[in-house]
Amino acid sequence: MLKSMLKKVGFMTLAIPMLLVGMVTGASAEDPSEFDLNKTVIYECIAPLTNFEMPVNIKVPEIDFDKLQPNQSFTVYNAIAEVTLPDNPVVSTLRGFPYYANAISGDVTSFKIYSDNIASMIDVASTPIPIPVTPIPASGDLTFTVPQSGGISVGPFIAGPNGVVTITAGEINTTINPIGGLPLPINVTCTPKDIGDNAVLITIPIE
């Protein structure tokens, strides 16, 4: 099984990917070895009142191939994303002026995943993915999982004739809905902090 692993994280007045290359079963596991893909991508996010960095942990419990045949079609199944909104400046802004919210919900409206070799892009949130209703803590960061249950299929992609296929996380657009205070939707746009290793989710050889 292919074991690709983690890196860093970041997010703003709420943006989530929500999506991502491969994600699945909803709950986070304590043992990273339970996942064939367990990678944290750090995003830089822009929102109406502030900019911020947000960590998005992308997980896939099982990838049933560790290499591809030339020109093979392939899909990654059951992907999930754990998104952490930082207390400062995002969560503190939501719980205070001007929102005074006690929870959030929303939608991930775009989450782009890229494949090279034969270049292609799939938007796994072309049908918006709900952000579950999540209470805002009295202090500290806020973490939620998308999708709340089940997982997302990412693909199909096509391998090239030779070399390797690299799958990378791309841009995320999100609408956050504060609950319990000012009901003003917050539109957030996020991009990976670095286009290099930070955004790489998995590399698969073609043999």
pLDDT by residue (tens digit) across 64-74? Answer: 888 999 999 99
Cβ neighbors of 92 (< 8 A, separation 6 or more) are: none
Give the integer Cα–Cα distance in Å for 155 and 152. Answer: 10
- pTM for the model: 0.80
* Average pLDDT score over residue span 188-196: 91
110: pLDDT confidence band, cut at 50, 70 and 90?
Answer: very high
* Average pLDDT score over residue span 54-62: 94
**Cα–chain center distance at 200:** 12
> Over the chain, what is the mean pLDDT?
84
Q: Name the amino acid, one letter, at 166.
A: T
Residue 178: cis peptide before it, omega within 30 degrees of 0: no
- Selection from 62, 164, 187 nearest residue 116 by Cα: 164
Percent of the chain predicted with pLDDT > 90: 72
Pair 58, 108: CB distance under 8 Å: no
At 147-170, the pLDDT tens digits run 999 999 999 999 999 999 999 999
Cβ neighbors of 197 (< 8 A, separation 6 or more) are: 7
- Selection from 37, 41, 8, 75 nearest residue 171 by Cα: 41
Q: Which residue has the higher pLDDT, 16 or 137?
A: 137
Is the pLDDT score of 123 beyond 80? Answer: yes
At 2-41, the pLDDT tens digits run 333 333 333 333 333 333 333 332 233 344 445 689 999 9
- Selection from 77, 81, 29 nearest residue 55 by Cα: 81
- Selection from 50, 38, 156 nearest residue 99 by Cα: 50
Q: Which two tokens stand for residue 78?
A: 């059951």
Extended strands (E) in 47-162? 51-60, 73-85, 103-115, 120-123, 129-135, 142-146, 152-158
Task: Give the pLDDT confidence score for residue 203 in this predicted structure.
Answer: 93
Percent of the chain predicted with pLDDT > 70: 83
> In what helix (H) or strand (E) does residue 92 lie, and over which residues does it extend?
helix 92-95
* Average pLDDT score over residue span 182-201: 92
